[in-house]
Amino acid sequence: MLGTSTPSRVAIRSLKRVRADILLGALTRQLCSEILAAVLSDRFYSRMSMAIGGAGLRWTGKLNVPVYRATGGRLMGKVGRAPVLLLTTTGRKSGRARTAPAVYLADGERLVVIGSNAGNKRPPAWSLNLKTNPDAEVEVGRERRPVRARVAAGEERADLWRKHNDQYAGFDEYEERTDRDIAVFVLEPR
């Protein structure tokens, strides 16, 4: 019966096939994501970041920032399971805005970042900048917000370090690799 408003069996079967294809595609993407996360473990990321050294980390950061901003963090917004934010500090020598990616831990409305620099001898420039001028800005996805940094100490530092390592297990390796004290920064809304 042509011209009726009742959907034909062919159209219904076709719609069911499209729904099945969409579901299969979503399941396949999820499975691939889980396999990739399992293959590219925290140990892989920590070893890779230690192998590329300070210059490699700076180069990777310079690539990460525009890609992160262009995609709202959908690309280059995670290291393994750990989320990445963009941290904009004021250069302690230049006075200019400097933006760097950093793995972070959400702790209520506070964000926590660790100045490990993959266990290199020198701390990351952004951590030195925060110690000089604690006012900064973070970007999480497409959201920007002003923050004030402080260095965690004592039990608070130990607790935040443990929580951060639960989500990204590379920090203990970084700590073993360096003689310097690695600062744990608490970024509070201002």
Residue spans of the domains in the chain: they are 7-39, 41-189
CA 111/CA 190 separation, integer angstroms: 12
Nearest to 186 by CA among 160, 155, 168, 158: 160
CB 45 within 8 A of CB 80: yes
Question: Using one digit for the tens of pLDDT, what is the confidence trace for 166-181?
Answer: 887 777 776 777 788 8
Q: Is 118 left (phi over 0), alpha (psi -120 to 50) or beta?
A: left
What is the CATH code of the structural domain delimited by 41-189? 2.30.110.10
CA 134/CA 185 separation, integer angstroms: 10
Question: Is the full-model pTM beyond 0.85?
Answer: no
- Range in 106-110, 117-121, 124-128 with the lowest mean pLDDT: 117-121
pLDDT band at 2 (very low <50, low <70, confident <90, very high): low
CA 151/CA 128 separation, integer angstroms: 11
Greater pLDDT, 150 or 18: 150
Nearest to 85 by CA among 77, 96, 93: 77
pLDDT of residue 122: 80
pLDDT of residue 165: 85
pLDDT of residue 84: 92
Structure token pair of residue 162: 């443990």
- Range in 6-10, 127-131, 161-165 with the lowest mean pLDDT: 6-10
